[in-house]
Structure 1
Amino acid sequence: MSSRDRMRRTLIAYDVPDDRRRLRVARLLEQYGDRIQYSVFVVDLLPSKLLQLKSGLKEVIDPRADSILLCDLGLVKTLTEADFSYMGQQRTVTQQGPMIL
């Protein structure tokens, strides 16, 4: 199984009341995926990269005040347009192209 076959799509939503921490969370998430709503991102990652992202988020947030929701949507290779659709204005989610190592 190639590494691309193990990639999972995760929907991440956050509620961070502090402006500075919220900006740091957003900047970190932008390194991993696509913003589809103001505080919602979609990331397609290998499980090891998701752990790395979670570790980075733990360093940024205040767990007493902030909330981050991570929803595993499944393996990227099995998702179809019907599994991930919009109503109203659509946002672009980067399609994973060929991996070049």
Structure 2
Amino acid sequence: MIVVVTYDIVDDQRREDVAMLLSGYGPRVQLSVFECECRTVDELRDLRAKLRERIDPLEDQVRLYPTNTKTFAERYIIGARTVEERADYWVVR
């Protein structure tokens, strides 16, 4: 199943941790939105637990919207803008 995950996280470090976690599950499609693939209910449960560990529930919010193949295939995308991932790099002297 594809799970649309959207978040509003106050702290930069927590936000980066959540984005890094979600990037392992699927592509970032907006600045705070990922389309994550979870193959089983247990994998979805594991993702939810990992997200809980990374946020402050009093300051942050994460929303997960599970979809099925039919509803995901019927999604509407208006506009062609894509989000460019930041490329981490090292400067070595």
2:38 is equivalent to residue 47 of structure 1: no
Flag the 1:31–1:11 CA change in 2: closer, same or farther, 3 A.
Answer: same
1:86 is aligned, of 60, 71, 77, to 77
For residues 53-100 of structure 1, what are the alpha-carbon distances to aligned partners after superposition, in whole Å with 9 as ceiling and x for unaligned? Answer: 1111111000000000111122x3x3564x123100155xxxxxxxxx
Corresponding residue for residue 28 of structure 2 = 35
Aligned-partner SS, 1:64: coil
Identical counterparts, % of pairs = 33
1:7-26 equivalent positions in 2, closer than 5 A: 8-26=1-19
Aligned-partner SS, 1:24: helix
> Which residue identity does 1:15 align to in structure 2?
D
List alignment gaps of at least 5 residues for structure 1: 1-7, 92-101
For residues 6-48 of structure 1, what are the alpha-carbon distances to aligned partners after superposition, in whole Å with 9 as ceiling and x for unaligned? Answer: xx11111000010000000000000111110000001121211
Flag the 1:19–1:86 CA change in 2: closer, same or farther, 3 A.
Answer: same
TM-score computed with the length of structure 1 as normaliser: 0.73
Task: Say which structure is richer in strand.
Answer: 1
TM-score computed with the length of structure 2 as normaliser: 0.79
* 4+ residue segments displaced more than 3 Å: 78-81
> Which residue identity does 2:76 align to in structure 1?
S
Aligned length: 82
Aligned-partner SS, 1:63: coil
List alignment gaps of at least 5 residues for structure 2: 83-93
Corresponding residue for residue 55 of structure 2 = 61
RMSD: 1.8
